[in-house]
Each structure stands twice: as structure tokens, then as C-alpha cells.
């Protein structure tokens, strides 16, 4: 038995640093969330070190809760968390299976158990990410089968804790009510991560990342117009943080394409093709107090 452990070597060999760096590149801000992910990774590395020195070690509970508004990076963090758990040997595959109420809850007697178990089977060796998890619980409907799905999840979270990690996600206030009505569920969720809304500066930085990834850029006037767009958009319904910014960029590209198409008789330069101009932003209905794509609900921008 070794008398010491080289934690730095274990960390380097695991490849976890690469995943954490990727998370930093992918997501602007979210410092509290990133800090918590690093803390969990540290806990697991130390747990492995204890095992190497044959110290008492119990498999840590890894089920999690991600709370926050749409577009704050919950799905991306779930994917990176699954990769970290895989690289550290806590998950066999490290994939993520996303489920909603419709994937888990049946519409008649005997329908829920096979549906829920099928989703758990698909997530075996990885993460089952349950979005808007509070819809599983409908206490006002006696004929609802959501409670059965929750009971099965509770059993499997305990019995297969080394085989599948369950992450519950949704709006914070609704998730708080969900947990308070299900004490058994709350006790099995070890890590609660709250995803804050992005600041205006964060959202501008996200727009810059999106544009850069697609080889576009704002003109100086467009950048100013987009900063105003963000301020106005946040005051309207169905704002979805980074998702709304992505949708806004897509629409700006659409307007730019139509503007350039109208100039088809002219030769277009590379600068023409990559530059989003102020009119491409200012044509948005947001400047008249309307939500573009509001029928898309939370994904509207």
C-alpha cells in the first residue's frame, strides 16, 4: 500500500482540467456555479485518493438540483458534469439523457413504471437530466401518475447511485416547492446549484462569442444598438438569457442577409458579409415594445 498520494498527478491524468477549461470557454460568468463544480471535482479526487490509501470511503451522493431561469447554462453544465464524473470513473459512459414529464409519466394505470424505467435504462452509466421537474408533482389531481414516477426515481436513485446520476432542473421557486412537498426526494439530492441571470455585460459578451464563432461582428453602431436591445428585451416577457441572445443574433443575421440580397447587383466584400450593422438590430420589434417570436415562449428573443 502506498504511503502517500500525488493529487496533482491524479488531477492531470484524469483530464478533468480540460473539461473545466472548456466550461470556462463555453459559459460567460456563472462564477458561483463554476466554483461549485470545481468543489465537487475536488471532493471526488480526494475520495479517490482516500481509496488509494485504503481509508474509509463511501460512494458520495452525486444527484443534483439545477435551479434558475431559462438560458442560464443548466444543460451545458449538466453535460460537462457528466464528463467530469466519467473521467473520474464515477460514471461508465458520461452521456446525458434529457427527459421531461411526458417521457416519464404515463396516461393510464401501468403505463408510468415502464416509461420511467426505460428513461433510467437509457441514462444508465450517465446522467438523467429532468427538465422542469416540478411538473412531475400534481397534488391537485388524484388521477395523476406523476407521484408514481417520483417513487420509482427515488428507489433507483438509491439503488443505482453508482450507475446513474439524476439532475432535477427548473425555476427556483417552483423547484423549492417541489422539494418541500417531497422530503424523501430532497434528502437524496446532495448538490443544489443556483444559476443566476446574466448581467447586461455578460449578455453582450455572450453575443460577442456567438458572433465570433460564426465569423460575424458588430459595427460600432450595431454594438451600441444591441446594448440597447438587451436593456429593452429584459423588460419584456419570456426573456431567456443566453437563449434569447442567440435568437436575436439569428434574426440579425437574417436581416443582414436580406439587406445584402437587395444589393445583389453589387460586388460584396468580406467586410460586407461579416458585419452586422445597426439597422439589422434596430429593425427588431423589441424597439416597439413587442417580443419577437413570443409564440416560442421561453425561447423567444
- Residue 43 sits at the vertex; the CA angle it makes with 42 and 44, to the nearest 5 degrees, is 90
Model pTM score:
0.88
User: What gap in Å lies between CA 157 and CA 238, rounded to an integer?
Assistant: 33
Q: What CATH number should be reported for the domain whose range is 200-299?
A: 1.10.8.60
Domain 7-195 belongs to what architecture? 3-Layer(aba) Sandwich (3.40)
Q: According to the model, what pLDDT value does residue 294 have?
A: 56
Q: Please, how many CA atoms are within 13 Å of residue 49, restricted to the half-sphere of its CB? A: 16
Closest by CA position to 110, among listed 141, 151, 148, 137 = 148
pLDDT in tens, the chain (301 residues): 778 889 999 999 999 999 999 999 989 999 999 999 999 999 999 999 998 898 987 778 899 999 999 999 999 999 999 999 999 999 999 999 999 999 999 888 888 999 999 999 999 999 999 999 999 988 777 678 888 999 999 999 988 888 999 999 999 999 999 998 888 888 889 999 999 999 999 999 999 999 999 999 999 999 999 999 999 999 999 999 999 999 999 999 999 999 999 998 999 999 999 999 999 999 999 999 888 865 444 333 3
Give me the phi and psi of 144, to 5 degrees please. -85, 145
Q: According to the model, what pLDDT value does residue 70 have?
A: 94
Residue environment code for 3-19, b if the CB has 16+ CB neighbours within 10 A, otherwise e = eebeeeebeeebebeeb
User: What gap in Å lies between CA 288 and CA 284, rounded to an integer?
Assistant: 8
- Residue 196 sits at the vertex; the CA angle it makes with 132 and 215, to the nearest 5 degrees, is 95
Closest by CA position to 249, among listed 187, 301, 194 = 301
Domain boundaries, the chain: 7-195, 200-299
Q: According to the model, what pLDDT value does residue 58 have?
A: 78
Q: According to the model, what pLDDT value does residue 32 have?
A: 94
Other CB atoms closer than 10 Å to residue 141's CB: what's the count?
10
User: What gap in Å lies between CA 14 and CA 165, rounded to an integer?
Assistant: 19
Give me the phi and psi of 84, to 5 degrees please. -60, -45
Closest by CA position to 33, among listed 239, 197, 177, 188 = 197
Cell numbers 488531477 correspond to what residue? 11
Q: According to the model, what pLDDT value does residue 144 have?
A: 81
Amino acid at each position: 500500500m502506498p504511503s502517500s498520494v500525488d493529487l496533482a498527478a491524479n488531477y492531470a491524468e484524469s483530464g478533468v482540467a480540460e473539461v473545466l477549461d472548456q466550461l470556462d470557454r463555453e459559459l460567460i460568468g456563472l462564477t458561483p456555479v463554476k466554483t461549485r463544480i470545481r468543489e465537487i471535482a475536488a471532493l471526488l479526487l480526494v475520495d479517490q485518493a482516500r481509496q488509494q490509501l485504503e481509508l474509509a470511503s463511501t460512494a458520495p451522493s452525486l444527484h443534483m438540483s439545477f435551479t434558475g431561469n431559462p438560458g442560464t447554462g443548466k444543460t451545458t453544465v449538466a453535460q460537462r458534469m457528466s464528463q467530469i464524473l466519467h473521467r473520474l470513473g464515477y460514471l461508465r459512459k458520461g452521456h446525458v439523457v434529457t427527459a421531461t414529464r411526458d417521457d416519464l409519466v404515463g396516461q393510464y394505470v401501468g403505463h408510468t413504471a415502464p416509461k420511467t424505467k426505460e428513461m433510467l435504462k437509457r441514462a444508465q452509466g450517465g446522467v438523467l437530466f429532468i427538465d422542469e421537474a416540478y411538473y412531475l408533482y400534481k397534488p391537485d389531481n388524484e388521477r395523476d401518475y406523476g407521484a408514481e414516477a417520483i417513487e420509482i426515481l427515488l428507489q433507483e436513485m438509491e439503488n443505482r447511485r453508482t450507475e446513474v446520476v439524476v439532475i432535477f432542473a427548473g425555476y427556483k421557486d417552483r423547484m423549492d416547492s417541489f422539494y418541500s412537498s417531497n422530503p424523501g426526494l430532497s434528502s437524496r439530492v446532495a448538490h443544489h446549484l443556483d444559476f443566476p441571470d446574466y448581467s447586461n455585460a455578460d449578455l453582450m459578451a455572450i453575443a460577442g462569442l456567438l458572433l465570433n464563432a460564426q465569423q460575424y461582428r458588430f459595427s460600432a453602431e450595431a454594438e451600441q444598438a444591441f446594448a440597447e436591445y438587451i436593456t429593452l428585451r429584459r423588460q419584456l416577457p419570456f426573456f431567456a438569457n443566453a437563449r434569447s441572445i442567440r435568437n436575436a443574433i439569428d434574426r440579425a443575421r437574417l436581416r443582414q442577409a436580406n439587406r445584402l440580397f437587395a444589393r445583389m447587383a453589387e460586388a460584396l466584400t468580406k467586410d460586407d458579409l461579416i458585419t452586422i450593422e445597426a439597422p439589422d438590430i434596430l429593425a427588431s420589434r423589441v424597439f416597439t415594445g413587442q417580443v419577437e417570436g413570443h409564440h416560442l415562449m421561453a425561447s423567444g428573443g
